[in-house]
């Protein structure tokens, strides 16, 4: 099934309910912001693909949101499958959303073994002068988890600051680290997606 096509890289959002994952998702889709998280605005939206033109290559990031499953239950393990990258999101104005990240990190390394992991402190507009989560806290966390975190970003979905930069950087890093793997995958990939059969064209009359 070898095909030359733009590689599509699955990127998943992880983290506590209410840290702004759906807001990041919405910014990614159409660069808008809806205050007071209105679930309805992403209702029925599963994932979204966007192309990133890098110096010598185009890739598509396919961003997935949790669908709110983590609100009371946990996210299904299949959410993590086939992910190339995971963004661990916490809220800069909420220390507890930061302190539970190790649990989410554990889920990622368990179910999405090969994913590159990124850390995103959202709501930077609310950070203020005495931040709930300091840069030192973040640094300590990254050290504690054996440098599994590739890069840390700070974003604000409210203002849009840092969002596009984050995704462009993630696209670049994925291409760098996955170059050989992406190529290998397009060659050696014998499982497939199922779809409707190609409509058989009616040959009609041969005259």
Partner 1 sequence: MDEEYDAIVLGTGLKECILSGMLSVSGKKVLHIDRNKYYGGESASITPLEELFAKFNAPAPDETYGRGRDWNVDLIPKLLMANGLLVKLLIHTGVTRYLEFKSVEGSYVYKGGKISKVPVDQKEALASDLMGMFEKRRFRNFLIYVQDFQEDDAKTWKDFDPSTANMQSLYDKFGLDKNTQDFTGHALALYLNDNYLQQPAIQTIRRIKLYSDSLARYGKSPYLYPMYGLGELPQGFARLSAIYGGTYMLDKPIDEIVLGEGGKVVGVRSGNEIAKCKQVYCDPSYVPDRVRKKAQVIRCICLLDHPIPNTKDALSTQIIIPQKQVGRNSDIYISVVSYTHQVAAKGWFIAMVSTTVETNDPESEIKPGLDLLGPIRQKFVSVSDYYEPLDDGTQSQIFISESYDATTHFETTCLDVIKIYKFGTGEEFDFSKVKVELGEEEQ
Report the interface residues with partner 1, using CB under 8 A: 29, 39-40, 43-51, 66-69, 71-74, 76-79, 81-82, 110, 190-197
Joined together, the tokens standing for residue 38 give 């209105």
Closest distance of CB 93 from partner 1, Å: 26
Which CB sits closer to partner 1, 66 or 178? 66
The alpha-carbon radius of gyration of the chain (Å, integer) is 19
Which CB sits closer to partner 1, 28 or 90? 28
- The candidate with the shortest Cα–Cα distance to 149, out of 132, 168, 170, is 170
Distance (Å, rounded) from C-alpha 28 to C-alpha 134? Answer: 26
Q: Please name the residues in contact with 145: beta carbons below 8 A apart, sequence gap of 6 or more.
A: 102, 105
- Residue owning tokens 């990041």: 24
Closest distance of CB 106 from partner 1, Å: 12
Which CB sits closer to partner 1, 48 or 126? 48
CA torsion 107-137-10-178 (nearest 10°) is -110
Closest distance of CB 191 from partner 1, Å: 4
Which CB sits closer to partner 1, 78 or 129? 78
Are 14 and 86 in contact by the 8 Å Cβ rule? The answer is yes
Closest distance of CB 10 from partner 1, Å: 11
Q: Please name the residues in contact with 172: beta carbons below 8 A apart, sequence gap of 6 or more.
A: 52, 54
Closest distance of CB 12 from partner 1, Å: 12
Which CB sits closer to partner 1, 4 or 192? 192
């Amino acid at each position: 099934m070898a095909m030359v096509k733009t590689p599509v890289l699955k990127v998943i959002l992880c983290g506590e309910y209410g840290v702004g994952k759906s807001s990041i998702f919405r910014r990614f889709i159409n660069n808008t912001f809806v205050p007071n998280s209105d679930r309805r605005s992403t209702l029925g939206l599963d994932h979204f693909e966007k192309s990133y033109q890098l110096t010598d290559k185009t890739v598509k990031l396919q961003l997935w949101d949790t669908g709110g499953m983590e609100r009371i239950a946990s996210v299904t393990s299949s959410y993590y499958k086939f992910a190339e990258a995971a963004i661990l999101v916490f809220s800069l104005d909420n220390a507890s959303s930061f302190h539970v990240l190790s649990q989410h990190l554990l889920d990622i390394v368990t179910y999405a073994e090969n994913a590159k992991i990124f850390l995103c402190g959202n709501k930077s507009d609310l950070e203020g002068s005495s931040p709930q989560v300091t840069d030192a806290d973040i640094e300590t966390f990254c050290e504690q988890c054996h440098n599994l975190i590739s890069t840390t970003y700070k974003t604000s979905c409210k203002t849009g600051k840092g969002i596009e930069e984050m995704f462009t950087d993630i696209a670049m890093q994925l291409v760098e680290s996955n170059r050989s793997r992406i190529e290998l995958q397009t060659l050696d990939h014998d499982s497939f997606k199922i779809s409707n059969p190609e409509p058989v064209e009616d040959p009609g009359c041969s005259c």
